[in-house]
Structure 1
Amino acid sequence: MSVFDQLTDKILNTVIGRSAAAGTAQLRELTEKGMDVTHGGMNSWVEAPPEFTATSNQTAGLWPFAVGTSSPLVGAVLGRNQLNGSVVCGDPINLFLRGIISSPSCFILGLQARGKSSVAVRMALALVDQGFLFVGASDVKPDLAGLTVEVGGQVIRVAPGVGSINPLDAGPLWRRLGELPEALQRQMRAEIHSRRLNALTGLLELVFKAPLDARQQEPTVLSMAITEAAEHAEAQGRQPIIQDVVDVITAARPAIMAAILVDDQTAYRGQVRNLLAGLNALGAHGPFGDVFCRQTSEEMHIDQSVDFDLSAIDETLLDLRAAVQIVCWSYAQAGISAAKTLAEAGLMEERHHLMIMDELWQALRASELLVHQIDGITRLNRTKGLGQLLITHSMKDLQLSTEELTKIATGFMERSSMKVLGGLAQNEMGMLETVFPLSEQEKALLVAWSAEGSVNPKTGRTSPPPGRGRFMLKTGEAPGVPFQTNLTAGELRVHDTNAAWAAAQARVNA
Structure 2
Amino acid sequence: MFGRSKSKAKPRPTREPQPLVDPAFGLAGRGGGRMRLVQAPTEYRASTMQACGLWPFAVGAGAPIEGAPLGHHLSTGAAVCADPISWFRAGIIRNPSAVVLSNPGVGKSTTVAHQLIGLSAFGTIPLVLGDTRPDYVETVRALGGQVISIGPGRGSLNVLDPGEALEAAKRLQDAGKHAEYEAVMGDALSRITTMVNALITIHRAGPVNEEETIVLDRAIRLLLERASYVPPVLGDLLALVKEAPEPLRAAVLALDEADYRMRTRGLVLSLSGLTGGGTLGSMFSRRTSEPMRRDRPAVYDLSAIAETDTDVRAAALMACWSAGFGTVSVAQALADAGLERRRHYVVVLDELWQALRVGHGMAQRIDVLTRLNRREGIGQIMIFHTMKDLDSLSNEEDRAIARGFVERAGMVMCGALPRSEMARLTSVVDFSQTEQDLLVSWNDAPPWTLDQFGGEAPPPPGRGRFLIKVGGRPGIPIEVKLTSHELRLANSNRRWTEASRIGAR
Normalised TM-score (structure 1): 0.86
**What CA distance in whole angstroms lies between the structure 2 residues aligned with 1:238 and 1:57?**
62
* 8 Å CA contact 1:103, 1:417 repeated in 2: yes
* 8 Å CA contact 2:450, 2:457 repeated in 1: no
**What CA distance in whole angstroms lies between the structure 2 residues aligned with 1:55 and 1:171?**
50
* 8 Å CA contact 1:124, 1:134 repeated in 2: yes
* 8 Å CA contact 1:473, 1:480 repeated in 2: yes
**What CA distance in whole angstroms lies between the structure 2 residues aligned with 1:370 and 1:455?**
42
State the one-letter code of the partner of 1:195.
Answer: R
1:157-168 alignment to 2 at 5 Å? 157-168=149-160
Residue 278 (structure 2) pairs with residue 281 (structure 1): no
Cα deviation code 1:147-188 (max 9, x no counterpart): 111111111111122111111221223213122101110111
- CA RMSD in angstroms comes to 2.6
Query: Which secondary structure does the structure 1 equivalent of 2:66 belong to?
Result: coil
Match of 2:220 in 1: 226
Match of 1:251 in 2: 243
The equivalent position to 2:52 in structure 1, one of 47, 52, 61, is 61
The equivalent position to 2:465 in structure 1, one of 439, 461, 470, is 470
Residue 353 (structure 2) pairs with residue 361 (structure 1): yes
* 8 Å CA contact 1:206, 1:369 repeated in 2: no
Residue 468 (structure 2) pairs with residue 501 (structure 1): no
Stretches of structure 2 lacking an aligned partner (at least 5 in a row): 1-23, 25-37
Query: Which secondary structure does the structure 2 equivalent of 1:255 belong to?
Result: helix
The equivalent position to 1:480 in structure 2, one of 475, 485, 488, is 475
Match of 2:194 in 1: 198
1:101-500 alignment to 2 at 5 Å? 101-180=93-172, 181-214=177-210, 217-234=211-228, 237-399=229-391, 400-456=393-449, 462-500=457-495
- Shift, 1:64, TM fit: 5.0
Match of 1:8 in 2: none
Sort the Cα spacing of 1:458 and 1:381 in 2 relative to 1 into closer, same or farther, 3 A: closer
State the one-letter code of the partner of 1:276.
Answer: V
Query: Which secondary structure does the structure 2 equivalent of 1:363 belong to?
Result: helix
Match of 2:12 in 1: none
Between 225-234 and 196-205, the greater mean CA deviation after superposition: 225-234
Stretches of structure 1 lacking an aligned partner (at least 5 in a row): 1-44
**What CA distance in whole angstroms lies between the structure 2 residues aligned with 1:345 and 1:60?**
50
State the one-letter code of the partner of 2:321.
Answer: W
* Count of paired positions: 463
* 8 Å CA contact 2:430, 2:471 repeated in 1: no
Sort the Cα spacing of 1:320 and 1:59 in 2 relative to 1 into closer, same or farther, 3 A: same
Query: Which secondary structure does the structure 2 equivalent of 1:101 belong to?
Result: coil
Between 171-180 and 458-467, the greater mean CA deviation after superposition: 458-467
**What CA distance in whole angstroms lies between the structure 2 residues aligned with 1:131 and 1:64?**
36
Sort the Cα spacing of 1:55 and 1:303 in 2 relative to 1 into closer, same or farther, 3 A: farther
* 8 Å CA contact 2:444, 2:460 repeated in 1: yes
Query: Which secondary structure does the structure 1 equivalent of 2:316 belong to?
Result: helix
- Shift, 1:124, TM fit: 0.3
* 8 Å CA contact 1:319, 1:366 repeated in 2: yes
- Shift, 1:266, TM fit: 1.9
- Shift, 1:295, TM fit: 1.8
* 8 Å CA contact 1:104, 1:382 repeated in 2: yes
Query: Which secondary structure does the structure 1 equivalent of 2:153 belong to?
Result: coil
Sort the Cα spacing of 1:461 and 1:184 in 2 relative to 1 into closer, same or farther, 3 A: closer
**What CA distance in whole angstroms lies between the structure 1 residues aligned with 2:296 and 2:199?**
28
**What CA distance in whole angstroms lies between the structure 2 residues aligned with 1:57 and 1:403?**
54
Cα deviation code 1:431-472 (max 9, x no counterpart): 111211111111111111122223139989743211111110
Match of 1:11 in 2: none
Match of 2:34 in 1: none
Sort the Cα spacing of 1:89 and 1:223 in 2 relative to 1 into closer, same or farther, 3 A: same
- Shift, 1:65, TM fit: 3.4
- Shift, 1:48, TM fit: 13
Match of 1:13 in 2: none
Residue 43 (structure 2) pairs with residue 52 (structure 1): yes
**What CA distance in whole angstroms lies between the structure 1 residues aligned with 2:501 and 2:328?**
42
- Shift, 1:52, TM fit: 2.4
State the one-letter code of the partner of 1:182.
Answer: H
| Runs ≥4 residues deviating over 6 A | 457-461
State the one-letter code of the partner of 1:86.
Answer: A
- Shift, 1:356, TM fit: 0.6
- Shift, 1:494, TM fit: 2.1
Between 279-288 and 370-379, the greater mean CA deviation after superposition: 279-288
* 8 Å CA contact 2:450, 2:458 repeated in 1: no
State percent identity of aligned pairs: 38
Cα deviation code 1:16-70 (max 9, x no counterpart): xxxxxxxxxxxxxxxxxxxxxxxxxxxxx9x999572425399353555332211
* 8 Å CA contact 2:165, 2:185 repeated in 1: no
Query: Which secondary structure does the structure 2 equivalent of 1:189 belong to?
Result: helix
- Shift, 1:502, TM fit: 2.0
* 8 Å CA contact 1:205, 1:212 repeated in 2: yes
* 8 Å CA contact 1:455, 1:461 repeated in 2: no
* 8 Å CA contact 1:53, 1:85 repeated in 2: no
Cα deviation code 1:123-156 (max 9, x no counterpart): 1010111111100111111111111111111111
**What CA distance in whole angstroms lies between the structure 2 residues aligned with 1:335 and 1:442?**
39
Normalised TM-score (structure 2): 0.86
**What CA distance in whole angstroms lies between the structure 1 residues aligned with 2:490 and 2:360?**
31
Sort the Cα spacing of 1:148 and 1:287 in 2 relative to 1 into closer, same or farther, 3 A: closer
- Shift, 1:305, TM fit: 0.6
Query: Which secondary structure does the structure 2 equivalent of 1:219 belong to?
Result: helix
